[in-house]
Amino acid sequence: MHQFILNVIFLFLLTGCASKGYSIDEIFEDGAEIDSTPEDSIKYTCNQNKYFYIQYIGDEKKSLWIIFPKNEIKLYQTEISNVFSNGITKLIFNEQTTTVKKDGSIFYNECSKQT
């Protein structure tokens, strides 16, 4: 009797998992590429294939979000107009490149704005 109950449960599980037949093409099909660019942002690409986005907050552009692939950090403009910081992370805009530093160490280097 115990074996019969296990067989019945197995059959229900088997039919539940096989309710729709998928072809190999459907399983490995490449879906349409999804654009993950944050709205109203500027992309910067850096050396070592790193990248981040900048999204200014407000019309005065006194603060911004720096958006990395796995997190976001809010930075505020410092007394130096081309530097944004929160005390830990610093974003420095230069004529040719942009740099991101964290605790004084270079985190992202040789970054340029993508147009």
- Residue 66: give its domain's CATH number: 2.40.128
Structural domain span for residue 90: 42-113
Can you give the pLDDT at residue 76? 97
- Domain membership flag for residue 51: yes
- Domain membership flag for residue 100: yes
Instruction: Count how many domains the chain has.
Output: 1
- Domain membership flag for residue 36: no
Query: To the nearest whole percent, how much of the chain has pLDDT over 70?
Result: 77
Q: Are 14 and 77 in contact (CB under 8 A)?
A: no
- Domain membership flag for residue 35: no
Distance CA 44, CA 65 (A): 13
pLDDT over threshold 90, residue 21: no
- Domain membership flag for residue 71: yes
pLDDT over threshold 80, residue 8: no
Q: Are 67 and 55 in contact (CB under 8 A)?
A: yes
pLDDT over threshold 80, residue 18: no
Distance CA 113, CA 42 (A): 7
- Domain membership flag for residue 95: yes
pLDDT over threshold 80, residue 40: yes
Write out pLDDT tens, residues 71-95: 999 999 999 999 999 999 999 999 8
Q: How many CB atoms lie within 10 A of CB 108?
A: 22
